[in-house]
Amino acid sequence: MLILGGRRGFTLAETLLAMVLLLMVSGSVYRVLLSTVRLTRSQTEHIALQSNVRGAALVAGNELRELSTAAGGNGAQNDLLSLGPNAISYRAMRGFGYTCQTLGPGLLRISRSAFFAYRDPQPGRDSALLYLSGMPTPADSGWITAGIIALSSSSTCGGGEPAISLTLPAGIGTVPGGTPVRIYEAMELAAYQADGQWWLGLRSLSSGEAIQPIFGPLATTEGFRLAYGDAAQMATVVPSLIKSISVTIRGTGVNYDNSSAAPLSEVLSTQIALKNAQY
Amino acid sequence: MLNTDGLARDERGMALALALFALIIVGGMVSGNFLMGLLEQRSGRNILLVTEASELAQGELWQIVSEVSGSGLLALPVGGAALDLGPGTPRPGFWLQRKVVRLADNLFLIQSRATRLDGAGAQLATGAVGLLTHLVPDSASASQVLLPIGQRAWVQLY
């Protein structure tokens, strides 16, 4: 026979006390766990928001940095097409190269090794800027614009080097070898509303495509703000006088941290000096 | 004789299991947070490296403009191969390529490419820019100096 001498069970009071203590400890642990989960989600959201805002500012900088403006210049010299406080349209540079041969009127051939772009030109979407002597006056040199009618990527230059060939309107005449060629497309960078929220979007005006979001959601007010400065850093809305563009991006996100009722917000302002602005 | 084996087994609690479970949950969340932080730090570092390389390439352009002689450029064949100007001033952790090519009688493209390297010499980030330039008579020195063309001289290279 098993004798449990000296060992007794728990009284009801002891069990109740133990349960109350266990509940208190469990409750505290649960609260710590919940706050840690909230903090983790909040930090993750914050990091993602910061990263996205920074990415959007980089895209805006890369799009706008190479633009050209010239006081009193003609249409070909000014790349800013329209301005607004939360939208801008412009000629976005997509590539650069120089011709390797002199061909017939309107025909260009650019060696692959002398073509710098992250994609090939697209006829109908992209246009070309050519730097020709005798433009705009016989004693001067300047850029002219022409739409790209056709592209062949299987041609070669004189030495058998792989090249791309562009067909432009024959009216531009014969383009000599060594002519600098820029490839561009008309783009719009703008804040727009979709699904009840604001987004920063980009679209090709040349191809007529719908605007695509590159960042969002933006804050409802002042989510994307553009300010234009002239040579003296004074505000201006005259495209040909603009030398720098200030971009402010204010992103918003869900706040998982109960410490504040306001939504998560991140603001980044950057000033883009236009590298090809003429002073 | 008292057999206590059965009793010892019955008295084992849940504390260790609960503690391990909580440790795994909290450890997972902390690790996730660290991972996000690490990715963010890497993303920021990549941007910094690209910016460093781009700024160095940009600065080198103007260095070339100031140091290249007009007579040397006029000796280049029109439409010929690019002249390698050498790496310039050595900078630790960077590899520089500087070239100039004569496009027309008085039109030159200067190219500057800076590559950020790690300790083993592997490429981390690259920045490349170009400048369209021409020679202009300088009355002060009675020679020709290299200057950017009037419009759209600065070129982003890829």
Of B32, B128, B151, which is closest to A70 when you measure between CB atoms? B151
CB contacts, 8 Å: B7 with chain A: 7
Q: To the nearest whole number, what is the mean pLDDT of chain A?
A: 89
Q: Are strands A87-99 and A244-253 parallel, antiparallel or unpaired?
A: unpaired
List the beta bridge partners of residue B127. B114
What is the pLDDT averaged over residues B111-129? 91
Residue holding tokens 């266990």?
A: A22
pLDDT, position A7: 64
Provide ipTM, 2 decimals: 0.83
Among B79, B149, B157, whose Cβ lies nearest the Cβ of A178?
A: B79
3-state secondary structure of A6: coil
**What's the token pair of residue A97?**
């190269």
Separation in Å, CA of A179 to nearest CA in chain B = 7
| A35 shares contact with chain B (CB less than 8 Å) | no
Is the model's pLDDT at B69 over the cut of 90? no
Q: Which DSSP helix (H) or strand (E) runs through A58?
A: helix A12-64
Of A33, A114, A143, the CB nearest to B152: A143
Least confidently predicted of A236-240, B51-55, B70-74: B70-74
Angle at B141 between CA B135 and CA B147, to 5 degrees: 25
A130 is written with which tokens? Answer: 């050519």
Shortest Cα distance, chain B CAs vs residue A50, angstroms: 9
- Checking if the pLDDT of A2 tops 90, the result is no
C-alpha to C-alpha distance for A84 and A146, rounded to whole angstroms:
26
Q: Distance between CA atoms of B124 and B51, rounded to whole angstroms?
A: 12
A141 touches A131 (CB < 8 A): yes
Note the pTM of the prediction, 2 decimals. Answer: 0.83
Nearest CA in chain A to B58: A275
Would you say how long chain A is, in residues? 279
- So what's the pLDDT on residue A5? 53
Note the pLDDT tens digit of each residue in A189-216.
999 999 899 999 999 999 999 999 999 8
The C-alpha of B71 sits at a distance from chain A's nearest C-alpha, in angstroms, of 20
pLDDT tens column, A88-147:
999 999 999 999 988 999 999 999 999 999 899 999 999 999 999 876 676 678 899 999
Stronger pLDDT, A1 or A244, i.e. the higher one: A244
Q: A58, A50 in Cβ contact below 8 A?
A: no
Token pair in block for residue B57: 């390439």
Q: How far is CA B25 from the centre of its chain?
A: 39
Q: Which of A9-23, A59-73, B80-94 has the lowest mean pLDDT?
A: B80-94
C-alpha A109/C-alpha A130 separation (Å) is 13
Say yes or no for a CB contact (<8 Å) between B79 and A100: yes
Q: pLDDT at position A261, please?
A: 64
Q: Is B130 near chain A, with CB under 8 Å?
A: yes
Q: Which residues in chain A are contacts of B26 at CB distance < 8 A? A: 33, 36
Take residue B104 and report the two structure tokens written for it: 């027309």
B41 touches chain A (CB under 8 A): no
Average pLDDT, rounded, for chain B: 85
